[in-house]
């Protein structure tokens, strides 16, 4: 029976590995998205905002 259990273990391992790889890629993509958003926020010129308020009030 050990060989049958070994076969079952072999069949289960790739699925587990695949899930781990997918999870890892999701984590990587989430980190990349946070970095992209951070760069985008850093690129915003926050000094423009007061001028827009003045224009709206006029």
Helix, strand, or coil (residue 33)? helix
Q: What angle do CA 38, 21, 12 make, to 5 degrees?
A: 155
Q: What is the pLDDT of residues 2-58, one digit of tens each?
A: 677 777 776 666 656 778 888 889 999 999 999 999 999 888 877 776 666 666 655
Q: How far apart are CA 29 and CA 40, in angstroms?
A: 16
Per domain, the residue ranges of the chain are: 2-57
Q: Is the pTM of this model over 0.85?
A: no
């Amino acid at each position: 029976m050990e060989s049958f259990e070994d076969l079952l273990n072999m069949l289960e391992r790739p699925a587990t590995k695949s899930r781990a790889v997918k999870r890892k890629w999701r984590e990587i993509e989430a980190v990349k998205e946070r970095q992209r958003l951070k760069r985008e926020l850093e690129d915003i010129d926050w000094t423009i905002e007061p001028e827009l308020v003045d224009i709206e009030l006029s």
